[in-house]
Structure 1
Amino acid sequence: MPLPKPTRIFKLISVAWLTIALQTTTQRAAHPQPALDPPLSASPPPSISPTPAKPLTVEPPSSPLAQLPSAQLGNQLGNQVSLNGRTFNVPWSQWQTAGTSRIGLSDAAIVQLLGAQLLSTPDGASQPIEWFPTAQRSVLTPRFAAPVRYLDITTLAQQHGWQLQTTGQNLRITTPTARLVGIRQGQQPFGDRIVIDLDRPTPWQIDPQSQEFVLTLDAQTDPSFVQNFKPRATAQVKSIKVEAGANQTTIRLRIPITQRSQISTLSSPSRIVIDLRSDFLPTLNILWTEGLRWRQQTLEVGSARFPVIWFEVNPRQPGLSLRPILPNPATVTGTASLIQTARQSQASAAINGGFFNRNNQLPLGAVRLKGQWFSGPILNRGVFAWNETGEMKFDRLTLQETIVLSSGQTIPLATLNSAYPQAGISRYTPLWGSSYSTLSDNEVLITAQNDRITDQRSGGKAGSAFAIPTNGYLLVARGATAAALTINTPLQLSTTTQPSDLSFYQNIVGAGPLLIQDRQIVLDAKSEKFSDAFIREMAARSAIGQTATGTLLFVSVHNRVGGRGATLTEIAQIMAQLGAVNALNLDGGSSTTLYLGGQILDRPPRSSARVHNGIGIFLLPSP
């Protein structure tokens, strides 16, 4: 049955919250709040009492990941799109189907370049979109080549008279010249509305900034219109400025930093509608590919309403794997935006991970990759651990290393590969990098090679660099005696973990505090030695969780409607609503970032801070 028209699509741009999302409705004037999905959990909230953790093993399924081999996928893969003369660095692909050449754009290109929006779908083999919608909804066919999903735009281009041309790594898209006809302002019960009238559908892009919303149209505007346009200032719209180029128009709206903007497109005639309103996150449920579902919904916690965007990940899916990701695998030093790290590591999806020191760009918590400790745990804080056999565990972790001298004397070590300058003796291995820079004054540096101490010296002022031997490690004494660690002393190293079974998990990312364990909220930030200021903070939150069926939840939560972000208690309650039986809080605030298929889902990339590590989701063909 044809859809009622006109159908509206809403792209939501939060200037304070800095996020982009969309919604649809079938009414011409009113914009009702989209109905929420059925409650995610009908059971009462978990009680607050700790219980011992047990690993949950998930069995692999029989069906492989639906993916075309790269040889079948296309004649070309490119990373540059020229849209009406402007160049964007986004992935595209060309392939053959039944003897016909097809062109696909990545999800990010569809949304960011065209202004289209992905709609909910239970079918990973089709992706409905909205873009100046008509009675016949546009449905694009996905083609997956790790780590990118491409959507076939060939038919869409034909319907709208676009010209597509490939040259090397570049895809040139030329759309018919559109014209801006007018701009109208009006009042609705929810607030201000601005309507941009066009003579035909045309690509558009958005750029939400600190107190300005910028809309760029691939459309001509008569200079006389720009000269004569007299916008009306309101409480929500401080100013509207129109800038006309040859075949491009830029509209700049000055709005309060707390105001959120919502964009919709209409057809017959073509219009772009900007609404300023407080309800900003629609329900979305997209099966992005087998094993990975993209969800978003506003959830209630008490009287507060939070925008929640999350992934549901099936770790049993053949070809799907998880891995800690770092900006530079050669050293633990360094930070980068999550989008940069995810792209570099070839992850299809990712969430930011653990804490770090922003000044020296070093980790403050566990990062274990394929059995190797790039950074050890600190302060018995919460971790998420997993291995390739399907076992996963959420718990608090302590790593205890001990030096055993030939005399039988034992010396406990404080930390391993850590930027947390704890009193005692710490150990640094080549995984830390080629050198170690002292974190405090007057440290004592002891070099161990081939199970024997070969050097001991004073570190002097903080910041002095010392080489880490490739065939050994560096011991660093801070406020502790190193008298027994003399040159030529033989030594052995023993390692245990608490709980002991966590030593068998090959991959670990630490953050904290632990939120939920075995269906119980076990939040105890003080025991994990978080500061009072951190405990009281209301902020954007990232978290990872596991449901009773073994599904993993990668969760991002930003500012509540009309207020600030979530408390630790509230993020624990949100994870429980999503069905988590185990959950861990990750680094939050400006670090909170959720990445999928080349784009950041929960905030504009420019607002995403540099982070030290993340958890990547990798989708590869089955062997």
Structure 2
Amino acid sequence: MNRLRRRVLAVLLAAMLSMPAASAADLTAVRYHSGSEHDRVVFDLSSMPDYRVRTSADGREVTIDFRDVSAAAKISRTRLESSRIESVKYKAGQGHFLVTLRLKSGLDFQVRKLSHPARVFVDVVPKSAVKSYGGSETNSRKDAGAPASPAAGGEGNILPLSFDGLYTRMAAPGIASRTYVYWDADGKVSAYFVEADKNLYAVKPVLARGRVPGLQTTSGMSDAADAVAAVNATYFAGNGDMIGLVKIDGVIAGTTYYTRSAFGLMPDGRPVFGRVSYSGTVTLGDETQPVSGVDAERGENNLIVYNKWYGSRTRTNEYGMEYTVRNGKVTGIQTGNSPIPADGCVISVHGTAAEAFAGVQIGDRAVVTEDLGSPWNEAVQIMGAGPRLVEGGQVHVTAGEEEFPSDIRYGRAPRSAVAVLRNGNYLFGVVDGRQADSHGLTLTEWAKLLIKMGAVDAVNLDGGGSSDLVIGGKVQNKPSDGSERAVGSALILMKK
């Protein structure tokens, strides 16, 4: 009996030894993204395997040697070629699966890992970017462990963020450029952000070509202002008129008929968020009439106030009347296309509004009253757009109550936003959409992403083909039109 038992055990042991060893992990996918600042290759695994990284003598090739990893046949067919990666080769055998990336000259790399979910990823960056990316030169060309934010302990008061798919570099002292690429159930999402240290930078609205109406690319406005960064801002008409309440250096540059969300800055630099609406009246002589709009095209029976933000002249036709106002007096009366004084305004009226002011003469008293409510009357800068996205660190989308049309309110699309982070810093952001590299986000998804980036308050800006983020004069995202769209306004970051 003992002899039979020993024989059975021997047979079982021999069978076990003859069986192929089970792989410790499966390589399920190889994903690839080429952005404006770096290329990223991501290896998705069922569990974290043992692996080693080797570099060729010339520094141009990096080989990742995965041990006891099985890879699907489709993995070896994944091609990676870009302005940074010359080629990729795969080799399997003797319990190893090797991936070799051939880099183009002048580039460096970093290999990092994430345990939950199990991922190994390679970032290909310019050699000059390695220190700002990894925090020290020694983190490059080897496995640096879990991905650490390059901004943690970086220059300025930058929010430390670290999660899979996020790439951060210090574009300037106190300026963090962030790219976040991830996949959801419906595909790929590519988003771009700039965080600015509130102690070093200020936000300011600017107009296309410095006036209304005007049309200019966001990068053009950034260049004209010598800004550190810029994002497209409020909605606009085809001719460049603002469709949102805008206030620049204390002077209103555009109005809207709706009560909608806005971002503003108080005289002490404190940021404010909330809904704002415009109410105005003009008194000439003894007659008072309501304001139809500021720096907008004059329509039937309208009263429009034109100030310095509209340019040198009103550009109106001869079918109305216009009253030049300076120092509280009517100083001129014309039928149209009046010059706009830098230290005053022009009151342009048509139809019933013109009839009401028929008796006004030069020298009569002139009072323009504008009311935005509190705290907006005291705000120095305002960029109105909407809807609200984040309030107090929670999702709070107000598209319904602000009466936004369906093309903005529903569906996934490219989006833009301005936010204030939990450390008080400013954030500009865009997410691409309507393209293979990014399917866009709903307003609620956009709000959730901004919160992930640290936002405690955020307002949506004009989106679609207008969404455009510029850092150092360079466009970071891929506008859905295929190129930058000329827009009416932008928010910029300037050194204090």
TM interval, shorter chain, is: 0.5 to 0.7
Match of 1:476 in 2: 348
Structure 2 residue 353 is the aligned partner of structure 1 residue 467: no
C-alpha contact 1:324 1:615 (8 A) present in aligned 2? yes
SS in 2 for 1:431: helix
CA change 1:606–1:619 in 2 (3 A) is farther
Aligned to 2:412: 538
- How far did residue 349 of structure 1 move? 1.3
1:515 Cα offset (Å): 1.8
Deviation at 1:508, TM superposition (A): 1.5
Q: Which runs of 5+ in 2 are unaligned?
A: 1-30, 47-57, 63-72, 87-100, 108-163
Paired residue for 1:193, among 79, 87, 106? Answer: 79
State the alpha-carbon separation in 2 of the partners of residues 405 and 366 from structure 1: 25
| Matched residue, 1:321 | 202
| Aligned-partner SS, 1:336 | coil
In 2, distance between residues paired with 1:24 and 1:388? 43
Which residue is 1:584 aligned to?
Answer: 459
Q: Which amino acid is the alignment partner of residue 448 of structure 1?
A: V
1:134-184 Cα distance to aligned partner (Å, 9 max, x none): 67xxxxxxxxxxxxxxxxxxxxxxxxxxxxxxxxxxxxxxxxxxxxxxxxx
TM-score by length of 2: 0.64
1:603 Cα offset (Å): 2.2
Q: Residue 372 of structure 2: SS of its match in structure 1?
A: strand
> CA 1:593 to 1:466, structure 2 compared with 1: closer, same or farther past 3 Å?
same
Contact 1:448–1:472 (CA<8 Å) still a contact in 2?
A: yes
Give, in angstroms, the shift of residue 448 of structure 1. 3.4
3-state SS, counterpart of residue 503 of structure 1: coil
Aligned-pair identity (%) = 23
Root-mean-square deviation (Å) = 3.9
1:504 paired with 2:384, answer no
Mapped contact 1:22–1:282 kept (Cα < 8 A): no
- Alignment partners' CA distance in 2, 1:313 and 1:34: 36
> Which of 274, 284, 307 is the aligned partner of 1:429?
307
Q: 1:575 to 1:418 in 2, by over 3 A?
A: farther
Alignment-mate amino acid for residue 525 of structure 1 = A
1:333 aligned partner: 213
Aligned: 1:487 with 2:350: no
Q: State which of 367, 370, 377 in structure 1 corresponds to 2:246.
A: 367
Q: How much does 1:591 deviate? A: 1.4
Deviations 1:177-221 (Å, cap 9, x if unpaired)? xxxxxxxxxx9439652669xxxxxxx599xxxxxxxx9xxxxxx
Show CA shifts across 1:122-141 (max 9, x none).
xxxxxxxxx96467xxxxxx
TM-score (norm 1): 0.52
Spell out the pairing of 1:436-451 with structure 2 (5 A cutoff): 436-438=314-316, 443-451=320-328
Q: 1:308 aligns with which of 172, 177, 191?
A: 191
Are residues 403 and 34 of structure 1, via their aligned partners in 2, closer, same or farther at CA, if it must alter by over 3 Å?
A: farther
Deviations 1:83-126 (A, max 9, x none): xxxxxxxxxxxxxxxxxxxxxxxxxxxxxxxxxxxxxxxxxxxx
* Cα distance, 1:397 vs structure 2: 1.1
Larger radius of gyration: 2
Distance 2:103 2:183 in 1: 31
8 Å Cα contact 1:385/1:502 also seen in 2 = yes
Aligned residues between the structures: 372
Residue 393 of structure 1 and its aligned partner are, at CA, apart by 0.5
Alignment of 1:556 with 2:437, yes or no, is no
- Aligned: 1:284 with 2:167: yes
Q: 1:252 — aligned with what?
A: none
CA distance in 2, matches of 1:352, 1:452: 38
- Structure 2: distance between partners of 1:321 and 1:577: 23
8 Å Cα contact 2:194-2:471 kept in structure 1: no
Post-superposition offset of 1:33? 5.0
C-alpha displacement at 1:556, in angstroms?
Answer: 0.9
Residue number among 479, 486, 489 corresponding to 1:613 in the alignment? 489
* Mapping for residues 220-235 of structure 1, pairs under 5 Å: none
- List gaps (5 residues or longer) in structure 1: 1-9, 14-18, 26-30, 36-130, 136-186, 197-203, 207-214, 216-263, 271-280, 460-464
- Does 2:366 align with 1:529? no
Question: Is 1:574 aligned with 2:443?
Answer: no
CA contact (8 A) 1:415 1:422 kept: no
Closer, same or farther: CA 523–428 of 1 in aligned 2, 3 Å: same
Say which of 222, 228, 235 aligns to 1:355: 235
Alpha carbons of 1:592 and 1:33: their partners in 2 closer, same or farther (altered >3 Å)?
Answer: farther
1:474 alignment partner AA: V
